[in-house]
Amino acid sequence: MFWSVSSVAGAPLSATAPGPTGPTSLDEAAKEATNAAGWVQENWGTWLTSGLQIVLIIVIAVVLRHVIRRTITKLIERMNRTAAAAEGTALGGLLVNAERRRQRSEAIGSVLRSVASFVIMGTAALTVLSVLRIDLAPLLASAGVAGVAIGFGARNLVTDFLSGVFMILEDQYGVGDEIDAGVATGTVIEVGLRVTKLRGPNGAIWYIRNGEVKRIGNLSQGWSTAAVDVVIAADQDLERAREIITAAGEQMSKDEPWNEQLWEPVAVLGLSEVHLDTVTLSVSAKTMPGKALGVERELRWRIKHALDAAGIHLAPRPEPEDAEAPTAADPSAGVSAPSALNNPLSPQSRAAEPISPPSKLEK
């Protein structure tokens, strides 16, 4: 016991006496908790205000996007109903193509809805980031660089898309139109923002990228021209031929369905070509868009029958040229060329002679 007391007495005070570690840690923890609670209490109002602002921004963006998209959809449906109603009338059937109007309006509506959604939601996202006090300068700079990189990488796709948008807005062509796109010619069966589909004369379907089209020839807008050339013999009565062709055109304009497809009387323009044995009369008529080919066929048919009935002869088909009489064969063609082997005294002939066997005397 004495050893223990002396040992304890001899020990340093710091080793035996309880230190201030325990009470000091508790005081610091209590102080930190108090500071945190005070910080939370001080910023609680800011957090609540920011959260309410973010929620309000999101709600307004979603509601505004829904309202605008629904308004655009209703507008497109109303345009389609108007086109369908006009198609049932006599004049509307000629001037309105319901499928063309429907696809064009749907494409425009899709573009408008996408643009509205991008603008509204993009603005809402930037506003939320600004409420959170996030620096938008680096983000916008990165987005700009990414946009430039994507634009260079997908420039063909962007070109096709922009060309399709302007083509639809300008109504350059639509479903049912006969167009000449340079790379292909045919009837438009589908119009898209990136690709236009054509059906060619032989039934083939052509997919044409809108960005690759440099020029468009629309044969179905406004009116078309049916042009027919009538070739008759030069010794026929031209005035009589003009009267007969004009009468045939007038009769055609009174018959169904040509009375709707012919928009002006058939006119004989005059002589387009004059040759020694033939002359060419040019006949023209203004027709409904896209109907010129059928009118030309029917007009040729009627003109041919009318001229035959009136005794006016068309130009005869040129006779084929007589084939040249075969020339006599050259008698020297069967004679072989002179050869040195024909001469028995020539060195070549002697060299070609067989070697005779040696005689018994030589052995």
pLDDT in tens, 311-353: 888 877 655 555 455 555 556 555 555 665 566 666 666 666 6
Token readout for 361 is 């005397």
pLDDT above 90: percentage of residues in the chain: 6
Length of the chain in residues, anyone?
Answer: 363
- What per-residue confidence (pLDDT) applies to 64? 92
Give, rounded to a whole angstrom, the gap between the first and last alpha carbons of the chain.
156
Q: Is the pLDDT of residue 84 over 70?
A: no
- What per-residue confidence (pLDDT) applies to 62? 92
- What per-residue confidence (pLDDT) applies to 10? 43
The band of 113, judged by pLDDT with boundaries at 50, 70 and 90, is: confident
Rounded Cα gap, residues 91 and 68, in angstroms: 34
Rounded Cα gap, residues 192 and 195, in angstroms: 5
pLDDT in tens, 177-200: 888 888 888 888 888 888 888 998
**Which bin fits 203, alpha (ψ -120 to 50), beta or left (φ > 0)?**
left
**Residue of 190, 187, 152, 185 whose CA lies nearest to 168:** 190
The band of 40, judged by pLDDT with boundaries at 50, 70 and 90, is: low
Beta bridge partners of 205: 199
**Which DSSP string corresponds to 158-177?**
HHHHHHHHHHHHHT---TT-
- Residue, of 222 and 8, whose pLDDT is higher: 222
Q: Which residue type does 87 have?
A: E
The band of 98, judged by pLDDT with boundaries at 50, 70 and 90, is: low
**Residue of 266, 185, 279 whose CA lies nearest to 226:** 266
Query: Which of 202-206, 260-264, 332-336 comes out lowest in average pLDDT?
Result: 332-336
